[in-house]
C-alpha cells in the first residue's frame, strides 16, 4: 500500500532546481501586499479575466467545450447551462468562485473534498457527485496506430477512502509543523491526489481546483489574478510528460516526484512573473497598451502572433492590439515575418 509522508522531504526535492523555484516564488509572494495596496483596481479586473480563463481552460483540457460567448454568459451568470458541457462548466465556475472567496475557511479533509466534487457535478444529472469511485480505474495511452496501452494503475476503489484520508492527514501535519514549504507541499499533494484518481469522473478538474485551494490557503494568491489552469492548458504536453515521469513506481513508493513538482512550481512562478508584468504595464491610455504588448515580446523568444498577444492581454481589444503592433513596427521595436495566416512578429535585432 502506498504511504504518504510530507514531513520528510526527499533529496530530489531538496536539489537546486527545486529550491531555486521555491525561492523565486517566495520572493514574488512578498510583493503581493504592495500590489494589493497600490493596484487594487487593476487586480479586480484581472480577477474577472482570470476566472473566465480558468473555467474555460480547465474544462477544455478534459474536452469539455463551448463557445467563447457562452462561456462568458456562464461565468458572469447571465444565462443558465443549456448543454451537458455547459453544466460541467457551471460546476467548475461555482467551486472556483467558492475557493477564491472562502479558501481560509475550507480545510483539506476527505469530507470537504467530497463536497467540492459534489458541487463540481451539481448541475449535471450524474449521481456519483460527492462519492468516491466505485470501480477500479486505469490510465491508458493512445498509440499512433490507434491502439492503447496501460500507462498507470491508480489506487483500487476499495482502498481509495483510506488513501485520501491518509493523504489529508499527512498534509495537515506538514502544514501545521511548517516542515515543508507550502508551495512544495501543494505540488506534492496535487501529484498524489491525481495519482490516487479518487473519482469516477472529474479527477483532472478536481486536481486543479485543489491546487488553487492549497496555494491560496498558504497565502499564494496569484491564481486569483493569473489563471494557473490556462498556463497548464498551454503546456499540457509537458504536464502529461511530467506526470508520466513521476508516476513510475508510485504504488510501490519508488517513484521520483521531482519532474511533476518542478513542472507545477514552474507554472506557479510563470504566473507570478506574468502578474508582475501586468502590474508594471499598468499605465494610462495608449502607452499602457503599447507597453503591455511590448512586454509580451519580452517574455517570448521567437515569433509572436496577434493571437498570442490577445491571449496574454485578454482585456485589450483586437483593434487596440493591432494599433500597438503597428506602433512597435513603426518604432523599429519589432519586425513582421510571414504572411497571411502565418503572419507573426519578432523582436528587431
290 and 249 share one domain: no
What number of helices (H) and strands (E) belong to the chain?
15, 4
| Domain count along the chain | 2
pLDDT reading at 314 higher than 80? no
Average pLDDT value for the chain: 92
- Whether the CB-CB separation of 344 and 337 falls below 8 Å is answered with yes
The Cα 95–Cα 104 span in angstroms is 14
Domain hosting 325: range is 285-347
Question: How confident is the model over 214-249, as pLDDT tens digits?
Answer: 999 999 999 999 999 999 999 999 999 999 999 999
CA 324 to each of CA 309, 313, 321: distance values in angstroms, whole numbers, following the listed order:
10, 12, 5
The pTM for the full model equals 0.82
* Between 142 and 219, the higher pLDDT residue: 219
CA distance 297 to 309: 9
- 151 with 30, same domain: the answer is yes
Asked if residue 174 and residue 127 are part of one domain, the reply reads yes
- 75-91 burial, b at 16+ Cβ within 10 Å, e below that, comes to beeeeebeeebbbbbbb
What does the block give as the cell for 201?
A: 469522473
Res 283: pLDDT: 47
Q: Are residues 251 and 303 in the same domain?
A: no
Nearest to 166 by CA among 147, 143, 148, 192: 192
Q: Which of 235, 263, 280 is the last residue of a domain?
A: 280
- For residues 182 and 124, membership in a common domain is answered with yes
Of 117-121, 201-205, 260-264, 325-329, the range with the lowest mean pLDDT is 325-329
Residue 336 dihedral angles phi and psi, to the nearest 5°: -85, 140
Amino acid at each position: 500500500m502506498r504511504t504518504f509522508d510530507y514531513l520528510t522531504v526527499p533529496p530530489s526535492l531538496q536539489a537546486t532546481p527545486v529550491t531555486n523555484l521555491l525561492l523565486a516564488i517566495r520572493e514574488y509572494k512578498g510583493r503581493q501586499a504592495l500590489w494589493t495596496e497600490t493596484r487594487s483596481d487593476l487586480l479586480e479586473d484581472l480577477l474577472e479575466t482570470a476566472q473566465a480563463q480558468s473555467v474555460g481552460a480547465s474544462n477544455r483540457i478534459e474536452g469539455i467545450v463551448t463557445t467563447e460567448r457562452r462561456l462568458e454568459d456562464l461565468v458572469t451568470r447571465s444565462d443558465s447551462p443549456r448543454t451537458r458541457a455547459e453544466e460541467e462548466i457551471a460546476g467548475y465556475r461555482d467551486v472556483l468562485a467558492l475557493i477564491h472567496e472562502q479558501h481560509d475557511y475550507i480545510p483539506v479533509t476527505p469530507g470537504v473534498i467530497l463536497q467540492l466534487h459534489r458541487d463540481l457535478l451539481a448541475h449535471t444529472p450524474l449521481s456519483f457527485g460527492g462519492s468516491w469511485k466505485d470501480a477500479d480505474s486505469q490510465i491508458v495511452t493512445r498509440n499512433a496506430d490507434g491502439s492503447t496501452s496501460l500507462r498507470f494503475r491508480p489506487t483500487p476503489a476499495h482502498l481509495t477512502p483510506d488513501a485520501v484520508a491518509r493523504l489529508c492527514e499527512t498534509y495537515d501535519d506538514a502544514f501545521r509543523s511548517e516542515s515543508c514549504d507550502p508551495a512544495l507541499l501543494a505540488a506534492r499533494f496535487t501529484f498524489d491526489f491525481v495519482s490516487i484518481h479518487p473519482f469516477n469522473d472529474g479527477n483532472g478538474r478536481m486536481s486543479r481546483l485543489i491546487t488553487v485551494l492549497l496555494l491560496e490557503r498558504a497565502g499564494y494568491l496569484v491564481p486569483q489574478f493569473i489563471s494557473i489552469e490556462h498556463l497548464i492548458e498551454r503546456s499540457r504536453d509537458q504536464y502529461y510528460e511530467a506526470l508520466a515521469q513521476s508516476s513510475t513506481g508510485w504504488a510501490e513508493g519508488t517513484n521520483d516526484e521531482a519532474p511533476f513538482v518542478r513542472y507545477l512550481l514552474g507554472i506557479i512562478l510563470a504566473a507570478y512573473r506574468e502578474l508582475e508584468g501586468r502590474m508594471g504595464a499598468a499605465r494610462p491610455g495608449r502607452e499602457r497598451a503599447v507597453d503591455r504588448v511590448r512586454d509580451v515580446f519580452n517574455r517570448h523568444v521567437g515569433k509572436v502572433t496577434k493571437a498570442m498577444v490577445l491571449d496574454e492581454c485578454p482585456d485589450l481589444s483586437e483593434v487596440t492590439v493591432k494599433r500597438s503592433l503597428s506602433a512597435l513596427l513603426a518604432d523599429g521595436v519589432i519586425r513582421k515575418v510571414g504572411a497571411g495566416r502565418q503572419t507573426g512578429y519578432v523582436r528587431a535585432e
